[in-house]
Amino acid sequence: MLENIIPDLKFLAGVGTKRADILYKELEIVTADDLIRYYPYRYVDRSRFYYIHEIGSDVPFIQIKGQILRFERQGEGRKQRLTAQFSDGKSTIELVWFQGIKFALEKLKTHTDYVVFGRPTLFNGRYNIAHPDIERPEDLPPPEQMGLQPYYNTTEKMKHNFLNSKAIQKIMTNLLAQLKDVQIAETLTSDIIKKYALMPLKDALFNIHFPQNADKLKHARQRLKFEELFYVQLHILHQTKLREQSVNGFIFNKIGNFFNDYYKKYLPFELTSAQKRVLKEIRTDVRSGKQMNRLLQGDVGSGKTIVALFAMFMALDNDFQAAIMAPTEILAQQHYETISELLERMHVNIALLTGSTKPKEREKLHNALISGELHILIGTHALIEDTVKFHNLGLVVIDEQHRFGVAQRARLWQKNTQPPHILVMTATPIPRTLAMTLYGDLSISVIDELPPGRKPIQTYHYFMNKRPTLNQFLAKQIAAGRQIYIVYPIIKESEKLDLQNLEHGYEYICEVFPNLKIGKVHGQMKSQEKEREMQKFVSGETNILVATTVIEVGVNVPNASVMIIENAERFGLSQLHQLRGRVGRGAEQSFCILLTDYKIGADTRKRLEIMTETNDGFRIAEADLQLRGPGDMDGTQQSGMPFDLKIANLAQDGRMLEIARSVAQQILETDPKLLSEKNLILKNQLKKMKKEPVNWGLIS
C-alpha cells in the first residue's frame, strides 16, 4: 500500500542502510507498511496534569503538579529509602526513592512548585510513585504541546545502535510527515466502518503513533484491534469454507444396533445432559455430508470416553471402522481396558496397537483391519504408521490432542479414500476467545457438567512447616487403603537440581514411611522402566508414587486419593489443575495439597487462591489467560499461536473478537468466495496476510 510513496525504507529520513538492516533483522520490518504497523506499546500522557484523586487502577504514566510537604528517611544501608509526601493542593501521594537518595535530597526542596511524572502503583492499599521524574514547571513546554508520547519496544541490539524508542519515534514522525497528504487505502469495507463506527484507517494509523488526545487514541486502538481480529477470523472461516467445499464427509445416516443396544441394555448410568447435548452435536455433524472436525473439551472426569464410544457406534452402525489414538502407551492401554469392559457383552471386535505389540500379533491385527473384521482399533501413534491399513475407517478419536505432532495427525487423512471424521478430546479447557483463534476452524463442544455424586476434591495450600501434620494425614489415608502421588517440578534450566529435589523427596518419604512401597518416576528414566513403575502404581503394588509431571496426562488410578504438589509455586495454573485431576476419580473423598516456600509472589498467591477456590477447569483456564496472557498458556505452547497479534489481546478483547467473528461469518455466508465488488478489499487483504496459520482442520 505504501510502496509507491516509500519504495525503499532505507531512504526514509532517519533510517539509512544500517538501520534498515537492523530493523529487518530484529523486528522483521522491511517495508513502510511494516513500519507503520509497528505500534507503540504504551503512551505517556503529558497532555494534562492529573489530580491525585483521579488515579485509578488503569493509570498510565501521568504528571501531577504540586509541592513536596516533607521528606522522611527510613531504614539503613541497602534497605534505606526516602519518601516524600507530595500534595496537589487537594490530596497527597507518596514519592519513593530506593536509590539516588542523596541526590534527590540535594536537588529537591519542600514547598516549591514541581511537576512529578511517573506511574503510580498500588502498595498497601495506597498509590505511590517510585523514582519519579521531577521538573520545575517553568522548564517544561505547555502540556498542549506535549500530548501523548509513544514508546516503542526495542531490542538490546537496537539500543546498541542508537535505535531506541526515541529514535523510532523520530523515524515514525518522518514517515507520517511524508504520508500527510497521501491517500491511504482502506482495508475494511465502508459497510463495516459505518456499522461499527470505526475510525478510518489513515486517522487510526496517525493517532496510534501520535494521538491527538486520549479519546482519539482509544478509537484508533479499537479500529486497529477490530481489523486485526476480523482478518484472523475471516481467514480461518474462509479456509474452513474452502475445505468444506472441497472435502466430503462420510455420511452416517443410520442409528443401528450397536448404538441402540448399548444405549438400552448396557449403558451403566444415565448420560448427563451435557453428554447428551454433545452427542447430538456430533450426530448432526456426521450426517451432514461434511467432514467433522470437532474439539470436545471436558474437564477431567467429565465423561468424555463414553461420548467417544457412542460416536464410534455411529460409525459402526454405518459399516465403518473407528479408531482411538492416545498419546502414550499407558493411556492407550487404559482406554483399551476401559472400553473392553464397557463392551463386554457386545459383539464388537476391538484391538490394541502400540509400539510394543509383537510382530506376530501385529500381522494378525493388520489382517483383521483390512478385512473389516476389526471394528475399533485403539492405540498410540503406532496406528498412523503407513503399514496400518483399514478396510473402511470412518472416525478417529484423538485423546489429549496437544501431545500429538502436527505431521502425525495429517497422516490420518490417508487412511481412507476420504478423510475420516475427527473428534479431538481435551481435558485442558481453552477459554473461548483463545479457542476461536487457535482452533477457529474446529467446531467446539463442551461437557460442562460432571456426572452426579462426585465429591469435589478438597484443595489446600500449605507452607513447608506443615510437613509433620501432612505426614500424619498421609499415614491415615494409607491405612484406609488409599494411594498417594507426590509431584515435583522439572524445568529444563535446572533439570539437575530438580532431579536432586526429587531424589531427596523420595529418600525423605522412604524414611518417614519405612514400611511402605514407594515408587519413583521421572523423565530421565528409560520409557520401559517408567511404564513399569507406573504400572506398579496402577495395580496398587506401590502405595506412594514420587514423580515429576510425566504423570500429568490421563492416567487413571481411582484408588489414589491424595495429590501432593511440591514447589507448587513453580507450576502454571493449568498444569496444577491437570495434576489435581489425577485424584478424585474414585468414590472416596480426595485431596490436593499445594506445598510452597514461605516466600511467594503476588501472582503465585493468586494462582494458589484460585486453585483452592474452584475445581472448575474453565474458570481456571480463564484465570490463567488473564494472569499469563495467551502466548504462555499451557496447551498453546506446544502448538504455537498461529497468528501474531500486534495490538489485540485475547485476554482482554474477547467481546470484540466475538463481534469480529460474527461479522466475518455474515460476510462469508452471503459471499463465501468473496467475489462481490464490495468485498474485493477483503479478498485482497486476505491474500496479503503474511503468516499462513496452521490449518487445524486438515491436521487434527
List Cβ neighbours of 205 (8 Å cut-off, separation of 6 or more): 36, 176, 184, 220, 224
**Nearest approach, Cβ of 229 to ligand ADP (angstroms)?**
31
Between 426 and 679, name the residue whose CB sits nearer to ligand ADP: 426
- Contact residue for ligand ADP among 278, 286, 314, 427 (CB under 6 A): 427
Between 433 and 556, name the residue whose CB sits nearer to ligand ADP: 556
Q: What is the 3-state secondary structure (H, E, C) of 448-469?
A: CCCCCCCCCCEEEEEEHHHHHH
Alpha helices by DSSP H, listed for 373-414, are 406-410
Q: Which helix (H) or strand (E) holds 521?
A: strand 518-521
**Nearest approach, Cβ of 700 to ligand ADP (angstroms)?**
18
Between 244 and 399, name the residue whose CB sits nearer to ligand ADP: 399
Stretch that binds ligand ADP, among 180-188, 223-231, 264-272, 381-389 (CB under 6 A): 264-272
Interatomic CA distance for residues 300 and 592, integer angstroms? 15
**Nearest approach, Cβ of 428 to ligand ADP (angstroms)?**
11
Side-chain-side CA neighbours of 241 within 13 Å: the count stands at 17
Q: Is the CA virtual torsion 324, 527, 520, 569 positive or negative? A: negative
Between 422 and 427, name the residue whose CB sits nearer to ligand ADP: 427
Find the length of the chain: 700
Inter-residue long-range contacts of 222-226, CB under 8 Å, 24+ positions, other chains counted = 222/198, 222/656, 223/198, 223/199, 224/39, 224/647, 225/647, 225/648, 225/653, 225/656, 226/188, 226/196, 226/198, 226/656, 226/659, 226/660
**Nearest approach, Cβ of 157 to ligand ADP (angstroms)?**
47
Q: Which residues between 586 and 625 bind ligand ADP (CB under 6 A)?
A: none
Between 86 and 310, name the residue whose CB sits nearer to ligand ADP: 310
**Nearest approach, Cβ of 298 to ligand ADP (angstroms)?**
5
Q: Which residue has the cell 460432571?
A: 450
**Nearest approach, Cβ of 556 to ligand ADP (angstroms)?**
6
Total interface residues for ligand ADP by CB under 6 A: 15
Interatomic CA distance for residues 643 and 646, integer angstroms? 9
**Nearest approach, Cβ of 553 to ligand ADP (angstroms)?**
11
Cβ-closest position to ligand ADP: 303
Between 283 and 517, name the residue whose CB sits nearer to ligand ADP: 283
Residue 118 φ/ψ, nearest 5 degrees: 170, -170
Q: Which of 244, 184, 215, 211 is nearest to 1 (CA)?
A: 184
Q: Which residue has the cell 507530595?
A: 86
Residue 61 φ/ψ, nearest 5 degrees: -75, 135
Q: Which residues between 297 and 336 bind ligand ADP (CB under 6 A)?
A: 298, 300-306
Question: In whole angstroms, how far apart are CA 611 and each of 342, 606, 617, 623?
Answer: 33, 9, 10, 10
Between 299 and 569, name the residue whose CB sits nearer to ligand ADP: 299
Between 303 and 654, name the residue whose CB sits nearer to ligand ADP: 303
Per-residue contact track with ligand ADP, 265 to 304, x per CB under 6 A? ----xxxx--x----------------------x-xxxxx
Q: Which residues between 444 and 463 bind ligand ADP (CB under 6 A)?
A: 451
Between 187 and 426, name the residue whose CB sits nearer to ligand ADP: 426
- Residue numbers of the site for ligand ADP (CB under 6 A)? 269-272, 275, 298, 300-306, 427, 451
